[in-house]
Amino acid sequence: MTSGQSSTSGKYYIGLMSGTSADGIDLALVDFSDEQAKPKLVASYYQAYSGEFAEKITALYVPGDNEIDHAFHLDVALAHLFAQAVTDFLTQEALNPSDIIAIGNHGQTIRHRPSGNNPYTLQIGCSQTLATLTSIRVVGQFRRKDMALGGQGAPLVPIFHQQLVPQKDSACFVVNIGGIANVTYLPKQGCSDTVLGFDTGPGNALLDDWFNQHHQGNTKFDENGAWAGAGQVNQALLSQFMQDDYIQAKAPKSTGREYYNLDWLTQQLSSINNDSDVSITPVDIQATLVAFTCKSIAQSIHALAQHGNVYVCGGGAHNTIVLEQLSEYLTTRFELNTMDALAIDGDQLEAMAFAWFAYAYDHNLVSNMPAVTGAKTTCTLGSLFLP
Protein backbone atom coordinates (compact mmCIF):
# COMPACT_ATOMS: atom_id res chain seq x y z
CA MET A 1 0.00 0.00 0.00
CA THR A 2 1.01 3.59 -0.57
CA SER A 3 2.56 5.42 2.38
CA GLY A 4 -0.03 7.37 4.29
CA GLN A 5 -2.19 4.28 4.74
CA SER A 6 -3.55 4.68 8.25
CA SER A 7 -3.71 1.82 10.71
CA THR A 8 -7.48 1.80 10.18
CA SER A 9 -9.33 -1.46 10.41
CA GLY A 10 -11.45 -0.02 7.63
CA LYS A 11 -13.03 -2.26 5.08
CA TYR A 12 -14.72 0.06 2.62
CA TYR A 13 -13.97 2.89 0.24
CA ILE A 14 -16.35 5.79 -0.34
CA GLY A 15 -16.60 7.32 -3.79
CA LEU A 16 -17.84 10.90 -3.89
CA MET A 17 -19.04 12.56 -7.08
CA SER A 18 -20.63 15.87 -7.90
CA GLY A 19 -21.33 15.93 -11.62
CA THR A 20 -21.56 18.76 -14.10
CA SER A 21 -25.36 18.79 -13.89
CA ALA A 22 -24.77 20.33 -10.41
CA ASP A 23 -27.80 18.40 -9.18
CA GLY A 24 -26.23 17.01 -6.03
CA ILE A 25 -23.71 14.75 -4.32
CA ASP A 26 -23.54 11.02 -5.03
CA LEU A 27 -21.84 8.75 -2.50
CA ALA A 28 -21.10 5.07 -2.98
CA LEU A 29 -19.79 2.68 -0.34
CA VAL A 30 -17.77 0.02 -2.11
CA ASP A 31 -16.13 -3.20 -0.97
CA PHE A 32 -13.03 -4.27 -2.92
CA SER A 33 -11.89 -6.86 -0.41
CA ASP A 34 -12.66 -9.88 -2.59
CA GLU A 35 -10.06 -9.46 -5.32
CA GLN A 36 -11.54 -12.33 -7.34
CA ALA A 37 -14.99 -10.71 -7.41
CA LYS A 38 -16.30 -7.55 -9.05
CA PRO A 39 -16.31 -4.44 -6.82
CA LYS A 40 -19.38 -4.63 -4.62
CA LEU A 41 -21.68 -1.64 -4.06
CA VAL A 42 -22.66 -1.93 -0.39
CA ALA A 43 -24.77 1.21 -0.02
CA SER A 44 -25.30 4.61 -1.58
CA TYR A 45 -26.50 8.07 -0.66
CA TYR A 46 -27.61 11.17 -2.52
CA GLN A 47 -27.82 14.74 -1.29
CA ALA A 48 -29.43 17.23 -3.69
CA TYR A 49 -28.14 20.82 -3.83
CA SER A 50 -30.56 23.66 -3.19
CA GLY A 51 -31.35 25.72 -6.28
CA GLU A 52 -29.36 28.62 -4.84
CA PHE A 53 -26.27 26.47 -4.23
CA ALA A 54 -26.48 24.88 -7.69
CA GLU A 55 -26.49 28.39 -9.18
CA LYS A 56 -23.25 29.22 -7.35
CA ILE A 57 -21.66 26.21 -9.02
CA THR A 58 -23.02 26.79 -12.51
CA ALA A 59 -22.07 30.49 -12.37
CA LEU A 60 -18.44 29.33 -12.34
CA TYR A 61 -18.73 27.31 -15.55
CA VAL A 62 -18.20 30.46 -17.59
CA PRO A 63 -15.83 33.39 -17.05
CA GLY A 64 -17.20 36.07 -14.71
CA ASP A 65 -16.26 38.73 -12.17
CA ASN A 66 -13.99 37.97 -9.22
CA GLU A 67 -13.75 34.29 -10.06
CA ILE A 68 -10.91 33.51 -7.65
CA ASP A 69 -12.88 34.57 -4.58
CA HIS A 70 -16.05 32.85 -5.79
CA ALA A 71 -14.27 29.62 -6.73
CA PHE A 72 -12.19 29.22 -3.60
CA HIS A 73 -14.97 30.13 -1.16
CA LEU A 74 -17.02 27.50 -2.97
CA ASP A 75 -14.08 25.06 -2.77
CA VAL A 76 -14.42 25.13 1.02
CA ALA A 77 -18.23 25.40 1.11
CA LEU A 78 -18.47 22.29 -1.06
CA ALA A 79 -16.03 20.41 1.20
CA HIS A 80 -18.31 21.19 4.14
CA LEU A 81 -21.34 19.85 2.24
CA PHE A 82 -19.36 16.77 1.15
CA ALA A 83 -18.28 16.17 4.77
CA GLN A 84 -21.86 16.54 6.00
CA ALA A 85 -23.04 14.07 3.37
CA VAL A 86 -20.32 11.58 4.42
CA THR A 87 -21.26 11.97 8.08
CA ASP A 88 -24.98 11.51 7.36
CA PHE A 89 -24.20 8.52 5.17
CA LEU A 90 -22.10 6.87 7.88
CA THR A 91 -24.90 7.46 10.41
CA GLN A 92 -27.43 5.97 7.99
CA GLU A 93 -25.26 2.86 7.60
CA ALA A 94 -24.33 2.68 11.30
CA LEU A 95 -20.63 2.97 10.38
CA ASN A 96 -17.73 4.94 11.88
CA PRO A 97 -14.98 6.87 10.09
CA SER A 98 -12.61 4.05 11.04
CA ASP A 99 -14.66 1.66 8.87
CA ILE A 100 -13.59 3.64 5.81
CA ILE A 101 -10.14 3.14 4.30
CA ALA A 102 -10.39 6.26 2.14
CA ILE A 103 -12.74 8.58 0.29
CA GLY A 104 -12.15 9.00 -3.44
CA ASN A 105 -13.18 12.61 -3.98
CA HIS A 106 -13.74 13.59 -7.59
CA GLY A 107 -14.98 17.03 -6.62
CA GLN A 108 -16.95 19.43 -8.75
CA THR A 109 -15.60 20.39 -12.16
CA ILE A 110 -15.99 24.10 -12.74
CA ARG A 111 -13.69 24.47 -15.75
CA HIS A 112 -12.19 21.94 -18.15
CA ARG A 113 -9.84 23.23 -20.82
CA PRO A 114 -7.94 20.18 -22.00
CA SER A 115 -6.42 21.62 -25.16
CA GLY A 116 -4.54 24.68 -26.33
CA ASN A 117 -1.80 26.43 -24.39
CA ASN A 118 -1.18 25.20 -20.84
CA PRO A 119 -4.29 23.04 -20.66
CA TYR A 120 -5.92 22.58 -17.27
CA THR A 121 -8.92 21.13 -15.52
CA LEU A 122 -10.31 22.43 -12.23
CA GLN A 123 -12.26 20.40 -9.69
CA ILE A 124 -13.21 22.05 -6.40
CA GLY A 125 -14.44 20.65 -3.05
CA CYS A 126 -11.26 20.84 -0.98
CA SER A 127 -9.95 17.34 -0.24
CA GLN A 128 -7.84 18.55 2.71
CA THR A 129 -10.87 20.13 4.38
CA LEU A 130 -12.87 16.98 3.71
CA ALA A 131 -10.18 14.77 5.29
CA THR A 132 -9.90 17.02 8.32
CA LEU A 133 -13.66 17.29 8.85
CA THR A 134 -14.37 13.57 8.44
CA SER A 135 -11.16 12.13 9.99
CA ILE A 136 -10.90 9.92 6.89
CA ARG A 137 -8.04 9.77 4.39
CA VAL A 138 -9.02 11.37 1.09
CA VAL A 139 -7.60 10.72 -2.36
CA GLY A 140 -8.45 13.52 -4.77
CA GLN A 141 -7.29 15.53 -7.81
CA PHE A 142 -7.53 12.46 -10.01
CA ARG A 143 -7.39 14.27 -13.32
CA ARG A 144 -4.15 16.19 -12.83
CA LYS A 145 -1.48 13.58 -13.40
CA ASP A 146 -3.07 12.39 -16.63
CA MET A 147 -3.08 15.99 -17.82
CA ALA A 148 0.51 16.53 -16.70
CA LEU A 149 1.32 13.56 -18.92
CA GLY A 150 -0.24 15.32 -21.89
CA GLY A 151 -3.67 13.66 -21.61
CA GLN A 152 -7.13 15.19 -21.56
CA GLY A 153 -7.64 14.10 -17.94
CA ALA A 154 -11.02 12.81 -19.11
CA PRO A 155 -12.93 10.63 -19.35
CA LEU A 156 -11.45 8.58 -16.52
CA VAL A 157 -14.24 6.04 -15.98
CA PRO A 158 -13.62 3.68 -18.95
CA ILE A 159 -11.00 1.72 -16.96
CA PHE A 160 -13.61 1.11 -14.27
CA HIS A 161 -16.29 0.18 -16.82
CA GLN A 162 -13.84 -2.38 -18.16
CA GLN A 163 -13.65 -4.05 -14.77
CA LEU A 164 -17.31 -3.95 -13.98
CA VAL A 165 -18.92 -4.96 -17.26
CA PRO A 166 -18.46 -8.65 -18.13
CA GLN A 167 -16.76 -9.34 -21.48
CA LYS A 168 -19.12 -10.67 -24.12
CA ASP A 169 -18.88 -12.17 -27.57
CA SER A 170 -20.00 -8.86 -29.01
CA ALA A 171 -18.83 -5.30 -28.42
CA CYS A 172 -20.24 -3.48 -25.40
CA PHE A 173 -20.72 0.24 -25.00
CA VAL A 174 -21.33 2.01 -21.72
CA VAL A 175 -22.98 5.38 -22.27
CA ASN A 176 -23.05 7.71 -19.29
CA ILE A 177 -25.52 10.52 -19.86
CA GLY A 178 -24.67 13.10 -17.20
CA GLY A 179 -24.32 16.82 -17.94
CA ILE A 180 -21.94 15.77 -20.68
CA ALA A 181 -22.31 12.33 -22.29
CA ASN A 182 -19.43 9.91 -22.54
CA VAL A 183 -19.09 6.53 -24.15
CA THR A 184 -16.81 3.60 -23.34
CA TYR A 185 -16.11 0.98 -26.00
CA LEU A 186 -15.36 -2.47 -24.61
CA PRO A 187 -14.24 -4.75 -27.45
CA LYS A 188 -15.70 -8.23 -27.71
CA GLN A 189 -13.92 -11.16 -26.10
CA GLY A 190 -10.79 -12.19 -28.02
CA CYS A 191 -10.72 -8.95 -30.05
CA SER A 192 -7.39 -7.13 -30.07
CA ASP A 193 -8.94 -3.64 -30.08
CA THR A 194 -8.13 -1.48 -27.06
CA VAL A 195 -10.75 -0.09 -24.74
CA LEU A 196 -11.65 3.42 -25.87
CA GLY A 197 -13.72 6.21 -24.44
CA PHE A 198 -14.46 9.88 -24.97
CA ASP A 199 -17.08 12.54 -24.39
CA THR A 200 -19.57 12.38 -27.24
CA GLY A 201 -20.98 15.88 -26.64
CA PRO A 202 -23.72 17.25 -24.41
CA GLY A 203 -25.81 14.88 -22.33
CA ASN A 204 -28.37 16.64 -20.14
CA ALA A 205 -26.50 19.96 -19.93
CA LEU A 206 -28.32 21.81 -22.69
CA LEU A 207 -31.62 20.05 -21.92
CA ASP A 208 -31.46 21.35 -18.34
CA ASP A 209 -30.33 24.84 -19.34
CA TRP A 210 -33.03 25.31 -21.99
CA PHE A 211 -35.74 23.78 -19.81
CA ASN A 212 -34.85 26.12 -16.94
CA GLN A 213 -34.83 29.12 -19.24
CA HIS A 214 -38.49 28.39 -20.05
CA HIS A 215 -39.83 27.01 -16.75
CA GLN A 216 -40.00 28.53 -13.28
CA GLY A 217 -40.55 26.39 -10.23
CA ASN A 218 -38.99 23.59 -8.28
CA THR A 219 -38.42 21.09 -11.08
CA LYS A 220 -34.93 21.62 -12.40
CA PHE A 221 -35.14 19.31 -15.40
CA ASP A 222 -37.60 18.09 -18.00
CA GLU A 223 -38.96 15.11 -16.13
CA ASN A 224 -39.11 12.03 -18.36
CA GLY A 225 -38.63 14.36 -21.30
CA ALA A 226 -42.34 15.31 -21.15
CA TRP A 227 -41.72 18.79 -22.58
CA ALA A 228 -39.31 17.57 -25.26
CA GLY A 229 -41.82 14.86 -26.19
CA ALA A 230 -44.42 17.54 -26.97
CA GLY A 231 -42.14 19.15 -29.57
CA GLN A 232 -41.01 18.29 -33.09
CA VAL A 233 -37.38 17.74 -34.02
CA ASN A 234 -36.23 20.48 -36.40
CA GLN A 235 -34.02 18.66 -38.91
CA ALA A 236 -32.22 21.77 -40.17
CA LEU A 237 -31.24 22.76 -36.63
CA LEU A 238 -30.23 19.20 -35.81
CA SER A 239 -27.92 18.99 -38.80
CA GLN A 240 -26.40 22.34 -37.85
CA PHE A 241 -25.79 21.04 -34.29
CA MET A 242 -24.13 17.95 -35.74
CA GLN A 243 -21.69 20.18 -37.68
CA ASP A 244 -20.40 21.60 -34.38
CA ASP A 245 -16.60 21.55 -34.08
CA TYR A 246 -16.53 19.32 -31.02
CA ILE A 247 -18.82 16.71 -32.60
CA GLN A 248 -16.63 16.71 -35.72
CA ALA A 249 -13.34 16.42 -33.77
CA LYS A 250 -11.61 13.08 -33.44
CA ALA A 251 -10.86 11.35 -30.12
CA PRO A 252 -9.08 11.67 -27.72
CA LYS A 253 -11.46 14.45 -26.80
CA SER A 254 -13.35 15.72 -23.79
CA THR A 255 -15.58 18.69 -23.15
CA GLY A 256 -17.51 20.49 -20.45
CA ARG A 257 -20.03 23.11 -19.45
CA GLU A 258 -17.69 25.96 -20.37
CA TYR A 259 -18.44 24.92 -23.98
CA TYR A 260 -21.93 23.41 -24.02
CA ASN A 261 -24.04 26.09 -22.33
CA LEU A 262 -26.69 28.68 -23.17
CA ASP A 263 -24.15 30.89 -24.96
CA TRP A 264 -23.37 28.02 -27.32
CA LEU A 265 -27.08 27.46 -27.91
CA THR A 266 -27.81 31.15 -28.43
CA GLN A 267 -25.11 31.30 -31.10
CA GLN A 268 -26.49 28.22 -32.82
CA LEU A 269 -30.02 29.63 -32.76
CA SER A 270 -28.96 32.98 -34.10
CA SER A 271 -27.24 31.41 -37.10
CA ILE A 272 -30.24 29.23 -37.96
CA ASN A 273 -32.67 32.14 -37.47
CA ASN A 274 -30.59 34.24 -39.86
CA ASP A 275 -30.96 31.52 -42.49
CA SER A 276 -34.68 30.98 -42.12
CA ASP A 277 -37.83 33.13 -42.06
CA VAL A 278 -39.56 31.04 -39.42
CA SER A 279 -38.20 30.97 -35.87
CA ILE A 280 -38.27 27.64 -34.06
CA THR A 281 -40.49 27.35 -30.97
CA PRO A 282 -38.88 26.63 -27.57
CA VAL A 283 -40.50 23.20 -27.28
CA ASP A 284 -39.20 22.20 -30.72
CA ILE A 285 -35.73 23.34 -29.66
CA GLN A 286 -35.96 21.07 -26.61
CA ALA A 287 -37.00 18.13 -28.84
CA THR A 288 -34.09 18.92 -31.16
CA LEU A 289 -31.63 19.06 -28.25
CA VAL A 290 -32.72 15.57 -27.19
CA ALA A 291 -32.19 14.42 -30.77
CA PHE A 292 -28.74 16.07 -30.75
CA THR A 293 -27.69 14.27 -27.56
CA CYS A 294 -28.88 10.94 -28.95
CA LYS A 295 -27.63 11.30 -32.52
CA SER A 296 -24.15 12.36 -31.39
CA ILE A 297 -23.97 9.32 -29.08
CA ALA A 298 -25.23 6.95 -31.81
CA GLN A 299 -22.81 8.36 -34.38
CA SER A 300 -19.88 7.78 -31.99
CA ILE A 301 -20.96 4.18 -31.42
CA HIS A 302 -21.44 3.45 -35.13
CA ALA A 303 -17.91 4.68 -35.81
CA LEU A 304 -16.52 2.00 -33.49
CA ALA A 305 -18.55 -1.14 -34.18
CA GLN A 306 -21.29 -2.49 -36.42
CA HIS A 307 -23.21 -4.32 -33.75
CA GLY A 308 -23.21 -4.92 -30.01
CA ASN A 309 -24.80 -4.09 -26.69
CA VAL A 310 -25.30 -0.56 -25.43
CA TYR A 311 -25.84 0.06 -21.72
CA VAL A 312 -27.00 3.48 -20.57
CA CYS A 313 -26.33 4.99 -17.15
CA GLY A 314 -26.40 8.43 -15.50
CA GLY A 315 -29.40 10.71 -15.12
CA GLY A 316 -30.25 10.52 -18.84
CA ALA A 317 -31.17 6.86 -18.35
CA HIS A 318 -34.26 8.12 -16.49
CA ASN A 319 -35.42 10.20 -19.43
CA THR A 320 -37.87 8.12 -21.49
CA ILE A 321 -37.57 10.34 -24.56
CA VAL A 322 -33.78 10.12 -24.49
CA LEU A 323 -33.93 6.31 -24.39
CA GLU A 324 -36.53 6.19 -27.18
CA GLN A 325 -34.56 8.49 -29.44
CA LEU A 326 -31.27 6.76 -28.77
CA SER A 327 -32.87 3.49 -29.77
CA GLU A 328 -34.15 5.12 -32.98
CA TYR A 329 -30.77 6.55 -33.93
CA LEU A 330 -28.91 3.30 -33.28
CA THR A 331 -29.12 0.75 -36.07
CA THR A 332 -31.15 -2.36 -35.30
CA ARG A 333 -27.92 -4.31 -34.86
CA PHE A 334 -27.43 -2.74 -31.43
CA GLU A 335 -29.35 -3.86 -28.38
CA LEU A 336 -30.08 -0.97 -26.02
CA ASN A 337 -30.58 -1.41 -22.27
CA THR A 338 -29.98 0.50 -19.08
CA MET A 339 -27.32 -0.82 -16.68
CA ASP A 340 -30.14 -2.60 -14.82
CA ALA A 341 -29.79 -5.36 -17.42
CA LEU A 342 -26.33 -6.08 -15.91
CA ALA A 343 -27.66 -5.77 -12.35
CA ILE A 344 -25.50 -2.63 -11.95
CA ASP A 345 -26.93 0.54 -10.43
CA GLY A 346 -26.36 3.06 -13.20
CA ASP A 347 -26.92 6.01 -10.87
CA GLN A 348 -24.00 4.98 -8.65
CA LEU A 349 -21.50 4.05 -11.33
CA GLU A 350 -19.56 7.31 -11.34
CA ALA A 351 -19.34 7.45 -7.53
CA MET A 352 -18.29 3.78 -7.48
CA ALA A 353 -15.60 4.58 -10.02
CA PHE A 354 -14.05 7.21 -7.73
CA ALA A 355 -14.07 4.74 -4.83
CA TRP A 356 -12.07 2.49 -7.17
CA PHE A 357 -9.65 5.28 -8.08
CA ALA A 358 -8.89 5.69 -4.35
CA TYR A 359 -8.44 1.92 -4.04
CA ALA A 360 -6.17 1.95 -7.09
CA TYR A 361 -4.12 4.75 -5.50
CA ASP A 362 -3.65 2.70 -2.32
CA HIS A 363 -2.57 -0.35 -4.32
CA ASN A 364 -0.37 1.45 -6.86
CA LEU A 365 -2.53 0.26 -9.74
CA VAL A 366 -2.45 1.87 -13.14
CA SER A 367 -5.61 3.95 -13.30
CA ASN A 368 -5.39 6.03 -16.45
CA MET A 369 -5.78 4.83 -20.03
CA PRO A 370 -3.49 6.59 -22.53
CA ALA A 371 -5.59 5.27 -25.45
CA VAL A 372 -8.58 7.10 -23.96
CA THR A 373 -7.06 10.35 -22.72
CA GLY A 374 -4.01 10.71 -24.95
CA ALA A 375 -1.56 10.72 -22.01
CA LYS A 376 2.03 9.79 -22.86
CA THR A 377 2.18 6.93 -20.35
CA THR A 378 0.16 5.03 -17.81
CA CYS A 379 0.19 6.16 -14.19
CA THR A 380 -1.57 5.94 -10.85
CA LEU A 381 -3.94 8.87 -10.53
CA GLY A 382 -4.66 10.97 -7.45
CA SER A 383 -3.06 12.76 -4.51
CA LEU A 384 -3.43 11.85 -0.85
CA PHE A 385 -4.79 14.17 1.86
CA LEU A 386 -4.52 13.03 5.47
CA PRO A 387 -6.84 14.09 8.33
The residues that touch ligand ATP, with contacts defined as CB under 6 A, are: 17, 19-21, 23, 176, 178-179, 204, 207-208, 221-225, 314-316, 318-319, 350
Site for Mg ion in 4-33 (CB under 5 A): 19, 21, 23
Smallest distance from the beta carbon of 223 to Mg ion, in angstroms? Answer: 15
Smallest distance from the beta carbon of 55 to Mg ion, in angstroms? Answer: 16
Nearer to ligand ATP, 233 or 349 (CB): 349
With contact defined as beta carbons under 8 Å apart, do 236 and 272 qualify?
Answer: yes
204 contact, one of ligand ATP, Mg ion, none, CB 5-8 Å limit per kind: ligand ATP
With contact defined as beta carbons under 8 Å apart, do 95 and 122 qualify?
Answer: no
Smallest distance from the beta carbon of 21 to Mg ion, in angstroms? Answer: 5
Q: Strand 120-124 and strand 100-113: pairing?
A: antiparallel
Size of the residue set binding Mg ion (CB under 5 A):
3
Smallest distance from the beta carbon of 191 to Mg ion, in angstroms? Answer: 33
134 contact, one of ligand ATP, Mg ion, none, CB 5-8 Å limit per kind: none
Smallest distance from the beta carbon of 245 to Mg ion, in angstroms? Answer: 26
Angle between helices 262-275 and 235-242 (to 10 degrees): 120
Nearer to ligand ATP, 204 or 255 (CB): 204
CA–CA separation, 347 vs 331, rounded Å?
26
Which residue in the shown chain puts its C-beta closest to Mg ion?
19
For 253, other C-beta atoms within 10 Å of its C-beta total 19
Nearer to Mg ion, 21 or 255 (CB): 21
201 contact, one of ligand ATP, Mg ion, none, CB 5-8 Å limit per kind: none
Smallest distance from the beta carbon of 331 to ligand ATP, in angstroms? Answer: 25
Residues that bind Mg ion (CB under 5 A): 19, 21, 23
